[in-house]
Amino acid sequence: MVATLSVNLNAVAMLRNRRDLPWPSVTGLGRVALDAGASGLTVHPRPDQRHIRFSDLGDLRALIDDEFPSAEFNIEGYPSEEFLALVEKYEPEQVTLVPDDPAQNTSDHGWDFVTHQTMLRSVIKRLKAQGMRVSLFADPTTEGLEAARDTGTDRVEFFTGPYGSTYNDPKAQLRELDLLERAAAKAVELGLGINAGHDLTVANLPALAKVMPTLSEVSIGHGLTADALEYGMRQSVQRFIKALG
């Protein structure tokens, strides 16, 4: 199977938020990404709205519903009541739960599934009752995946930041790929779907896809937005899709 691409729009929103102006347009570039072949859009609405604003969510929901009905909306975040109210209002096809502190710059670790299993099980039951697929952010390790399965989650999203950071160290890259391969194999054994995200690029996607043949989706923001500064959003989306195989 070939993984699908969900374009994370947070970096676009961060650039827009540097000025009190409506450009670059988050919705406009989301439209370009979907029209170029992306299978979905991802956002992470943080409590301080420093990237995606809550007001963006309705526009992006409408974009998908009105123009790209086969695409998916993926909203990720820490499952606070405020966050859960947002996803219940905008009904994304997928919710990705991350263990972020509100002050973090970006997601940089997966859940401790054993410690948070009871809380996650309750949240996942609530979300799945409304028809949403749930994915849990996970470190690239086999440890704790049984506990993740027992929460009732549909998928895990493996944190690929450590892999992305090895861009200039081939030996370290192979070590990280081995960890990801083992983790993915364990997830499949447990019946979990697999997503991946963080610091993925055109250069490092092919090797990742090779060791994760059952990978369902990658969510990419920073690397794709950086690529778009050189190639434009449309061509960058197509470059990333090609890199996935």
- The active-site residue out of 51, 116, 157, 198 is 198
Catalytic residue among 44, 51, 116, 157: 44
Q: Is the pLDDT of residue 29 over 70?
A: yes
- Of the candidate ranges 106-120, 151-165, 229-243, the one whose mean pLDDT is the lowest: 106-120
Would the pLDDT of 108 be above 80?
no
pLDDT at position 98 over 90: yes
CATH of 4-243, one of 3.30.230.10, 3.30.1490.20, 3.20.20.70, 2.60.40.10: 3.20.20.70
Domain boundaries, the chain: 4-243
- Tokens 């690397």 identify what position? 223
Residue 217 annotated as catalytic:
no
pLDDT score recorded for residue 100: 78
CA distance 212 to 181: 6
Q: Residue 107: pLDDT band by 50, 70, 90 thresholds?
A: low
Looking at the predicted structure, is the pLDDT value of residue 154 above 80?
yes
Using the predicted structure, report yes or no on whether residue 105 has a pLDDT greater than 80: no
Whether 44 is catalytic: yes
Q: Which of 76, 157, 176, 217 is catalytic?
A: 76
Q: Among 62, 63, 43, 42, which Cα is nearest to 53's? A: 43
pLDDT tops 80 at residue 122 = yes
pLDDT at 103: 61
The average confidence (pLDDT) of the chain is 96
| Percent with pLDDT over 90 in the chain | 95
pLDDT in tens, 34-69: 999 999 999 999 999 999 999 999 999 999 999 999
What pLDDT, on a 0 to 100 scale, did the predictor assign at position 109?
Answer: 82
Helix (H) or strand (E) holding 29: helix 26-35
Q: pTM here? A: 0.96
Assign 198 to helix, strand or coil: coil
* Other CB atoms within 10 Å distance of the CB of residue 97: 27
Per-residue pLDDT of 1-24, as tens digits, reads: 899 999 999 999 999 999 999 999
Q: Which of 134, 110, 120, 116 is nearest to 198 (CA)?
A: 110
